[in-house]
Chain A
């Protein structure tokens, strides 16, 4: 059966159960680490008594704020993290005391024996309340509770609205989504005077983690090493985490390795979910459905500390403006501190949230004008060759083809004649392939290519494979450049002490940034290899099929490798190349071209609503993507379907319910994620036109896969029931209320 295939052994190990995720790794003498957390949303710490805990046999370390460095640090330019809370706790789950013990029983006993006395303080739990005068202040350094305030206007928005034929809009809210990584958060940390800290941390931005943790402990960066075990799902959850810092602090204090692996309860209790947004939006259009202006005000709940919420806010305020011609745009974004667990990014990164609102309003305008939703989009979308209102340079864009194809494949014409309670909805999406704003200092990626003794080629990268197929894509790129088989390429990453620096796997960076670096390194390796072989075998050498041909003789790459080493004191032939895109840092005005390549997508969802219960079933789904040239089809399809499934869950069922600062649905039974029966067959197609900046014409696909999904489902529901749901998730209860006109005015 099948063809002869060779599988990279790490992929085969996943199938054989041999992959060692962090919870499967043990170090000799390891201790169990745990944390005493605040049960209150906001309180003053009056007294911390750890004497009883320290006396428990087997307890090796008990740390309070007094035992660890107290300086503020953080993974972004907002430095508002601590290691342990000192005077105040800021959210339920905030870390107060850390314990390491030789057994789980001793750990649990010690955690229970810690006595913390609190004095309750008024909490602020709503972003809009956080901005009100007299609101409780979360961080004294930020008395207005607003670490970020976006204000942006391009064109004359008031004039645009004044001449509008139609204006639609309203208040939309997006929900707190738990990333739902199947592998709970875990970490293993070790300390030695010579080596410093070694942290086995499933993080897909390990170099930022290293920088952040070094700052937390006042260590030089070469004294912090992050080793990245295989990651069991993240979707934004596993970036830079306090759990890593606390495990490290315990390992330093106990002088023994410390493991800390959350169970699902602790993982959900301390979750850093998607940033919930409240969006007031208006869009103006003329009588033909051409947009004239867009005006949004966004409130984002950052929680009590800044993780990646500023990037989410910036994306929400700007990204959809490079999908449609809105004429004039205005955005005001208030990112607010609250006494919630800090929120952060999840796949889609603010764009999917804003697109839910934008695409809903576009459908309302289409309705109001009696124009078909596909047609109104065709009149307003961006196209190849354009520079968008914020300066995005679209050197490739097949959005129109995606939209037309999605309409055709889904049988969009049926929409007029659907049976009752059935609906079709369309939505579009765009994203980046790496975003210049992620790090103000640099952008790009570095790869090392090395000829091994066995004649195979080793690629080292600083980017991280999350199972999205990055390593296979890199192997394919290098193989293509060197004209060798994919199986002769080995891709390595995930250790800050061994591999080149990488900004990490976020902002859909890996294909274009890392891929271009791999391509450059492979090209340079090929060139140097050729020059060396010419010196050895003669000027006529040619690299064909993994063999060096010269004057009728064939020399294996293993032979070339051995010759090279014999000439260079045992050194191996290797090159190091950096790809630096020509992009612009989006400054305060958010203007410029922040990414080398922009992927696009058009999605159509078909739903059936049960009028008795309000339950929505997604019965059909069509996703057409412009990802440039697709380098790894199975992986790309997997990315799209996975993103769509998360979007369906987001729009119809998922919600991390928080009341008085406390997460209420703390299990996978109470937080429902889609199972196999919730996801219909998803038709995935690609419009493949090469992007001039992507490696072999490729663009990203990971995040744009989810961007249109919640909106497509919401639009399909509105089509099915004739009423518009503006608050996610569109749970059975909400849909039932819409059907019975109790919740929202239609």
Chain B
């Protein structure tokens, strides 16, 4: 974990071994008022951070845990670039406060390829989840900035509706903006992933 001198927004993050600092230690002044230890599960591993209860989940992920695959596009819950799955449900991590995430199981894009179901190798050591692979084959992204959020929104959709209707896809993507693709590639990717995953693990 990288720490940047003097940044009040960086807390000494846990590494799965439990907290390294608490709010009354020398870090307290950096952490802001009322910082507490918050425990949750990230990508399958227990994690704890020391943060004020109102610190945004997206900042915890990006800044404290260096999980920068979760993006920030709007800060107000409109663009979906910060979408992660919390206990399987898609949420905008820019709107979730630390205390709301306490005890939850969070899946970010970094955890997807290693999430159990049917991953496969594509380039040397790089692994992709079938949904990621479908985004690749179908042209579901260009600049890639919306992509982690799109992929996680798609995963939530396919977990709930393995063979989604058009209406269900529309609804699932309602919270995710993409300025590059015009969404056609995203639709195709979801169809492709549904077809693959419907045929059991590839």
Q: A18-B69, A26-B4, A58-B6 given as contacts; is B126 within 8 A of A673 (CB)?
A: no
- For residue B172, which residue of chain A has the nearest CB? A676
Chain A residues with CB below 8 A from B142, complex form: 233, 466-469, 638, 642
A92 to B152, CA, bound (A): 38
A21 to B186, CA, bound (A): 21
A1 to B199, CA, bound (A): 10
A378 to B109, CA, bound (A): 50
Q: A7-B122, A12-B122, A104-B7 given as contacts; is B185 within 8 A of A638 (CB)?
A: yes
Contact digits for B130-157, partner A, Cβ 8 Å, 1 yes 0 no: 1011011111011111111001000000
- Say yes or no: A637 contacts B108, CB within 8 Å: no
A634 partner, pick from B132, B139, B180, beta carbons under 8 A: B139
Task: Say what secondary structure dominates the interface of chain A.
Answer: loop
- For residue B171, which residue of chain A has the nearest CB? A677
Chain B residues with CB below 8 A from A12, complex form: 122-123, 126, 128, 136
**Chain B CB within 8 A of A722 CB:** no
Q: How far is the CB of B113 from chain A (nearest CB, A)?
A: 6
- Say yes or no: B179 contacts A233, CB within 8 Å: yes
Q: Which residues from 1 to 37 on chain B have a C-beta closer than 8 Å to any C-beta of chain A?
A: 2, 4-9
- Say yes or no: B179 contacts A675, CB within 8 Å: no
Instruction: Name the residue among A6, A8, A16, A641 with the largest chain B CB count within 10 angstroms.
Output: A16
- Say yes or no: B182 contacts A7, CB within 8 Å: no
A642 partner, pick from B2, B122, B151, B180, beta carbons under 8 A: B180
Chain B residues with CB below 8 A from A231, complex form: 143
- Say yes or no: B7 contacts A183, CB within 8 Å: no
Chain B residues with CB below 8 A from A646, complex form: 179, 182
A677 to B177, CA, bound (A): 11
**Chain A CB within 8 A of B174 CB:** yes
Q: Which residues from 39 to 83 on chain B have a C-beta closer than 8 Å to any C-beta of chain A?
A: 62, 67-76, 78-79, 81
**Chain B CB within 8 A of A609 CB:** no
B145 partner, pick from A6, A28, A232, beta carbons under 8 A: A232
A53 to B141, CA, bound (A): 44
Contact digits for A662-673, partner B, Cβ 8 Å, 1 yes 0 no: 000001110001
A17 partner, pick from B109, B133, B176, B187, beta carbons under 8 A: B109
Q: A58-B6, A467-B141, A667-B74 given as contacts; is B182 within 8 A of A1 (CB)?
A: no
Q: How far is the CB of A59 from chain B (nearest CB, A)?
A: 11
Chain A residues with CB below 8 A from B161, complex form: none
**Chain A CB within 8 A of B178 CB:** yes
- For residue B2, which residue of chain A has the nearest CB? A26
**Chain B CB within 8 A of A263 CB:** yes
Chain A residues with CB below 8 A from B199, complex form: 1
Chain A residues with CB below 8 A from B108, complex form: 17
- Say yes or no: A667 contacts B179, CB within 8 Å: no
Q: How far is the CB of B48 from chain A (nearest CB, A)?
A: 22
Q: How far is the CB of A235 from chain B (nearest CB, A)?
A: 7
A637 to B187, CA, bound (A): 14
Q: Which residues from 203 to 239 on chain A have a C-beta closer than 8 Å to any C-beta of chain B?
A: 230-233, 235
**Chain A CB within 8 A of B196 CB:** yes
A183 partner, pick from B69, B73, B78, B176, beta carbons under 8 A: B73
- Say yes or no: A668 contacts B73, CB within 8 Å: yes
A646 to B169, CA, bound (A): 21
Instruction: Name the residue among B8, B137, B142, B187 with the largest chain A CB count within 10 angstroms.
Output: B142
**Chain B CB within 8 A of A102 CB:** yes
Q: A5-B122, A681-B184 given as contacts; is B110 within 8 A of A182 (CB)?
A: no
A183 to B124, CA, bound (A): 29
- Say yes or no: A103 contacts B139, CB within 8 Å: no
- Say yes or no: B81 contacts A182, CB within 8 Å: yes
Q: Which residues from 19 to 58 on chain A have a C-beta closer than 8 Å to any C-beta of chain B?
A: 19-21, 23-24, 26, 28-30, 58
A403 to B11, CA, bound (A): 60
- Say yes or no: B78 contacts A679, CB within 8 Å: no
Q: How far is the CB of B10 from chain A (nearest CB, A)?
A: 9
- Say yes or no: A15 contacts B141, CB within 8 Å: yes
**Chain A CB within 8 A of B173 CB:** yes
- Say yes or no: B76 contacts A15, CB within 8 Å: no
A26 to B4, CA, bound (A): 8
- Say yes or no: B146 contacts A182, CB within 8 Å: yes
Chain B residues with CB below 8 A from A1, complex form: 130, 133, 196, 199, 202
- Say yes or no: A182 contacts B4, CB within 8 Å: no
Chain B residues with CB below 8 A from A641, complex form: 181-185
- Say yes or no: B184 contacts A679, CB within 8 Å: yes
- Say yes or no: A668 contacts B180, CB within 8 Å: no
- Say yes or no: B180 contacts A233, CB within 8 Å: yes
- Say yes or no: A19 contacts B123, CB within 8 Å: no
- Say yes or no: B181 contacts A673, CB within 8 Å: no
Chain B residues with CB below 8 A from A673, complex form: 177, 179
Q: A16-B110, A58-B6, A468-B142 given as contacts; is B123 within 8 A of A8 (CB)?
A: yes
A682 to B183, CA, bound (A): 10
**Chain B CB within 8 A of A635 CB:** yes
Chain B residues with CB below 8 A from A20, complex form: 68
Q: A17-B70, A675-B174 given as contacts; is B6 within 8 A of A638 (CB)?
A: no
A628 to B136, CA, bound (A): 25
- Say yes or no: A15 contacts B151, CB within 8 Å: yes
Chain A residues with CB below 8 A from B151, complex form: 15
A455 to B78, CA, bound (A): 47
- For residue B5, which residue of chain A has the nearest CB? A29
- For residue A640, which residue of chain B has the nearest CB? B182
Chain B residues with CB below 8 A from A382, complex form: none
**Chain B CB within 8 A of A14 CB:** yes
- For residue B73, which residue of chain A has the nearest CB? A182
B179 partner, pick from A7, A8, A182, A682, beta carbons under 8 A: A182
A18 to B66, CA, bound (A): 11
Q: How far is the CB of A258 from chain B (nearest CB, A)?
A: 12
- For residue A636, which residue of chain B has the nearest CB? B139
- For residue B68, which residue of chain A has the nearest CB? A24
A339 to B120, CA, bound (A): 56
- For residue B6, which residue of chain A has the nearest CB? A102
- Say yes or no: A183 contacts B71, CB within 8 Å: yes
- Say yes or no: B6 contacts A232, CB within 8 Å: no
Q: How far is the CB of A596 from chain B (nearest CB, A)?
A: 25
Q: How far is the CB of A683 from chain B (nearest CB, A)?
A: 10
Chain A residues with CB below 8 A from B148, complex form: 17
Chain A residues with CB below 8 A from B110, complex form: 16-18
Q: How far is the CB of B43 from chain A (nearest CB, A)?
A: 11
- For residue B174, which residue of chain A has the nearest CB? A675
Chain B residues with CB below 8 A from A180, complex form: 179
- For residue A676, which residue of chain B has the nearest CB? B173
Q: A7-B126, A646-B179 given as contacts; is B143 within 8 A of A15 (CB)?
A: no
- Say yes or no: A183 contacts B143, CB within 8 Å: yes
A668 to B72, CA, bound (A): 12
Instruction: Name the residue among A24, A466, A675, A676 with the largest chain B CB count within 10 angstroms.
Output: A676
A634 to B130, CA, bound (A): 18
Chain B residues with CB below 8 A from A29, complex form: 4-5
Q: Besides the contacts A6-B122, A231-B143, what 18 more A-B pairs have beta carbons closer than 8 Å?
A: A5-B137, A16-B69, A16-B112, A17-B112, A17-B148, A58-B6, A182-B177, A182-B178, A183-B73, A232-B71, A263-B72, A638-B139, A638-B181, A641-B183, A667-B74, A668-B74, A676-B178, A676-B186
Q: Could you list 24 examples of A-B contacts with CB < 8 Å? A: A5-B122, A7-B136, A15-B136, A16-B132, A17-B68, A17-B69, A17-B70, A17-B112, A24-B68, A102-B7, A181-B179, A182-B178, A233-B143, A264-B73, A468-B142, A638-B182, A641-B185, A646-B182, A674-B182, A676-B173, A679-B182, A679-B183, A681-B184, A682-B182
Tell me the B residues contacting A by CB distance below 8 Å. 2, 4-9, 62, 67-76, 78-79, 81, 108-110, 112-113, 122-124, 126, 128, 130, 132-133, 135-139, 141-148, 151, 169-170, 173-174, 176-187, 196, 199, 202
Q: Which 10 A-B pairs have the closest CB atoms?
A: A17-B69, A645-B182, A14-B144, A17-B109, A232-B145, A102-B6, A467-B142, A641-B182, A467-B143, A24-B68
